[in-house]
Amino acid sequence: MTKAFPSAILTLFCFIGFSQSYSQPSIHEIALSFFDPLPAVMPGAEQDSSALINLGKKLYFETALSINHSQSCNSCHNLNNNAAGVDHLTVSIGALGSSGKRNAPTIWNAGLHVAQFWDGRAKTLSQQAKFPIFNIKEMAMTSESQLIERLNTKGYLADFRRAFPKQTSPINLEHIAQALAAFQRTLISKDRFDDYLAGDKDAISQSEKAGLRIFIEKGCVACHNGSVLGGQLFMKMGIVNPYPNKKDKGKAHVTGNAADNYFFKVPSLRNILNTAPYFHDGAAATIEQAIEDTGWHQLGIKLSKEEVHAIKVFFNTLKNQKDKIKPDDN
């Protein structure tokens, strides 16, 4: 269960009060008040059959979903050889060579987020899956009928019939999205921080615990909490000190509400050291820059080099240790 924002703030204030007194709780106790281990099964996965998951995985790596057969979902959210689910570009390049306007977020643990995309325009994984296929700056397909013809030509009918046995015409956009979502619900990372939360206090080092304490004391945890250390809130980029990029108004593009200007979904910190560059616009090339800029723009503080390094050391505990994923795995 994710820690709600007001609850996280209250717990943070209590922690600061404790830290100034003679009786200080252990860092493990404090961590448990802010963070949850990742679940073994993602919500919604209970009804996903193996046939549906296998179809979704096959579609995830399928370049026929793009107008010129040049891109798959994996092109921007790379999973090959246990990659971090990103393309490491400032912004992604679409099938027709057009640049997007936002950094591609990791696909790992995406189904545990409150919504999809930086601006939250899709509430579920299946809703999200439909957007890139027809976006002219991404996969650029022109119609659902074109998509169905492509997959029929490539021999997908048997796969869809196994996944949707009660359907006479199983290949359609809704089923494509459902299959992709089912596969994505299997993408739950595994790391040492969860071992620590589960009770193995030796799973992380003393220096990593020291970094965790600084991460909490400085207030980062007010937004980066819960099971994915983020992903549950929309916060203004530049809430204390203005963020320089004023072109992208974030959630306001979806809601039309000026009050949502520059609000973006708080990113997850799971596996964060492997997902550079950072922020919605990819403006932070390194994790050090991302930590420094977040401290300044979101918290109004200038973190020392020692504090930045300590937080980075803590982030080592969040590295994904899941087994490798390959297109031909079944």
Give a yes or no: residue 269 inside a domain: yes
Degrees to nearest 5, angle at CA 255 with 297 and 125: 90
Tens digits of residue pLDDT in 154-170: 999 999 999 999 999 99
Same domain, 10 and 87: no
List the one residue out of 221, 213, 307 whose CA is nearest residue 24: 213
Selecting among 138, 208, 292, 307, the annotated active-site residue is: 138
Length of the chain: 330
Same domain, 58 and 151: yes
Residue at which a domain ends, from 184, 218, 245: 184
Same domain, 178 and 220: no
Q: What is the pLDDT of residue 330?
A: 42
C-alpha to C-alpha distance for 303 and 293, rounded to whole angstroms: 9
Same domain, 179 and 211: no
**Residues 286 and 123: beta-carbon distance below 8 Å:** no
Give a yes or no: residue 326 inside a domain: no
Give a yes or no: residue 329 inside a domain: no
Give a yes or no: residue 179 inside a domain: yes
Give a yes or no: residue 328 inside a domain: no
Same domain, 36 and 158: no
Instruction: Determine phi and psi for 235, rounding to 5 degrees.
Output: -125, 150
Q: What is the pLDDT of residue 8?
A: 54
Same domain, 237 and 282: yes
Q: What is the pLDDT of residue 11?
A: 52
Same domain, 165 and 86: yes
End-to-end CA, the chain: 30
Q: What is the pLDDT along the chain (330 residues), one digit of tens a residue?
A: 445 555 555 555 555 554 454 568 999 999 999 999 999 999 999 999 999 999 999 999 999 999 999 999 999 999 997 789 999 999 999 999 999 999 999 999 999 999 999 999 999 999 999 999 999 999 999 999 999 999 999 999 999 999 999 999 999 999 999 999 999 999 999 999 999 999 999 999 999 999 999 999 999 999 999 999 999 999 999 999 999 999 999 999 999 999 999 999 999 999 999 999 999 999 999 999 999 999 999 999 999 999 999 999 999 999 999 876 777 654
Q: What is the pLDDT of residue 1?
A: 45
3-state secondary structure labels for all residues of 19-69: HCCCCCCCHHHHHHHHECCCCCCCCCHHHCCHHHHHHHHHHHCCHHHCCCC
β-strands 263-265, 234-236 pairing: antiparallel
Contacts of 55 (CB under 8 A, 6+ apart): 156, 159, 160, 162, 163, 179, 182, 183
Give a yes or no: residue 215 inside a domain: yes
- Residue 152 sits in a domain of what CATH number? 1.10.760.10
Residue at which a domain ends, from 164, 184, 204: 184
Same domain, 178 and 303: no
Give the pair of three-digit tokens for residue 313: 């050391």
Q: What is the pLDDT of residue 24?
A: 81
Give a yes or no: residue 121 inside a domain: yes
Give a yes or no: residue 327 inside a domain: no
Q: Which amino acid is at 322?
A: K
Same domain, 17 and 87: no
Q: Could you identify the residue written with the tokens 């891109």?
A: 71
Same domain, 196 and 314: yes
User: How many domains does the structure of the chain reveal?
Assistant: 2
Same domain, 139 and 172: yes
Same domain, 313 and 195: yes
pTM for the whole thing? 0.92
Instruction: Determine phi and psi for 104, rounding to 5 degrees.
Output: -75, 115
Reply yes or no on whether 288 is catalytic.
no
For residue 137, the enclosing domain spans: 45-184
What's the farthest any 2 CA atoms get from each other in the chain? 71
Residue at which a domain ends, from 184, 208, 223: 184
